[in-house]
């Protein structure tokens, strides 16, 4: 019986295309969260199903364990809580065995996991004890920025001049993008770049608002609330002043539009009727068409490519608006 990974094309494809490096962009906050977590959870489920085969390639088991760890890391990096069972369908104790199996293979990931949990390897609860996570250098000013995680599980940054020691900013941030935006604002000020400084200053409160909406993405809500959330998020998108804020809210609005369209299809309703049923007033063909277009955009930008054909086929059956007949 063949057991090599070359005997299983799907296994080989995942080993090449479903690595954390291919799916996740931790240090590029301009890449929104929702598409990344959508891809990660879908690939994990696919790989977990393949691993149910007793002759699964060893590399596939290691990849499954790595993706389980990165679901945990992603939740901490972007500052939201996850329930593994709700997100992946795997019972929490089993899921954690995958995580710990991965940690046995990676000292770097074990250190990060420890900071978020038991803190055996650092001074527990000490804000001045910082694990460095990432560094980048501004080519214009040669200013180096360090990002770290302290003993109180807060994200920190330090802008470091050439040949100088790090001087960590005293403020902590709930996730990496928040720290990155704050550090970018300081760098723009030092470089006297007014346009960049205005961008990052506007982005900080917009992203703080978006964080609440991104966390809500992981929690199922009723159709009525989804429709109301769409209207509110679309209004927030309309008022975003920064490119960063618009990019983040665009994915949130598209996600909510997709949920409205998907629910309408399941219930054999037009989008307009689904909105009317949710108590949303002032329904027009323009609004219904916009939701369907945003739902399509969500499919293209946020769903895994293996899901797009089937999802688009279902959305093809969806009507946006039917004119009301006069009595």
pTM: 0.91
- The tokens of 104 are what? 């046995």
pLDDT tens track for 130-149? 999 999 998 877 889 999 99
pLDDT tens track for 198-215? 999 999 999 999 998 887
pLDDT class of 106 with cuts at 50, 70, 90: very high
CA 110 to each of CA 1, 63, 119, 121, 238: distance values in angstroms, whole numbers, following the listed order:
36, 16, 10, 10, 42
pLDDT of residue 317: 86
Q: What is the DSSP string of 30-70?
A: TS-HHHHHHHHHHHHHHHHHHHTSTT--HHHHHHHHHHHHH
Q: Which of 124-128, 313-317, 321-325 has the lowest mean pLDDT?
A: 321-325
């Amino acid at each position: 019986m063949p057991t090599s990974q070359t005997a299983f094309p799907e296994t080989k494809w995942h080993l090449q295309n479903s690595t954390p490096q291919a799916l996740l962009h931790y240090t590029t906050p301009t890449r929104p969260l929702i598409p990344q977590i959508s891809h990660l959870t879908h690939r994990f489920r696919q790989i977990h199903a393949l691993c149910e085969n007793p002759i699964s390639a060893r590399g596939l088991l290691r990849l499954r364990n790595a993706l389980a760890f990165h679901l945990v890391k992603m939740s901490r990096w972007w500052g939201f809580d996850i329930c593994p069972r709700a997100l992946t369908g795997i019972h929490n104790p089993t899921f954690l065995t995958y995580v710990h199996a991965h940690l046995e293979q990676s000292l770097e990931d074990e250190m990060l996991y420890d900071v978020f949990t038991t803190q055996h390897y650092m001074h527990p609860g000490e804000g001045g004890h910082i694990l460095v996570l990432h560094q980048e250098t501004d080519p214009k000013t040669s200013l180096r920025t360090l990002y770290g995680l302290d003993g109180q599980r807060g994200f920190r940054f330090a802008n470091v001049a050439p040949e100088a020691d790090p001087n960590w900013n005293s403020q902590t941030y709930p996730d990496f993008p928040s720290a990155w935006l704050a550090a970018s604002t300081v760098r723009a000020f030092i470089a006297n770049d007014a346009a960049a400084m205005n961008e990052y200053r506007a982005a900080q409160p917009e992203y703080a608002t978006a964080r609440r909406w991104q966390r809500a993405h992981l929690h199922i809500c009723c159709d009525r609330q989804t429709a109301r959330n769409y209207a509110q998020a679309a209004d927030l998108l309309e008022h975003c002043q920064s490119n960063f804020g618009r990019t983040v809210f665009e994915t949130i609005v598209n996600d909510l539009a997709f949920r409205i369209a998907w629910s309408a299809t399941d219930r054999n309703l037009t989008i307009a009727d689904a909105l009317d049923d949710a108590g949303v007033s002032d329904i027009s063909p323009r609004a219904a068409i916009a939701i369907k277009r945003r739902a399509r955009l969500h499919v293209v930008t946020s769903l895994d490519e293996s899901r797009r054909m089937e999802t688009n086929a279902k959305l093809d059956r969806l009507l946006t608006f039917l004119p009301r007949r006069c009595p």
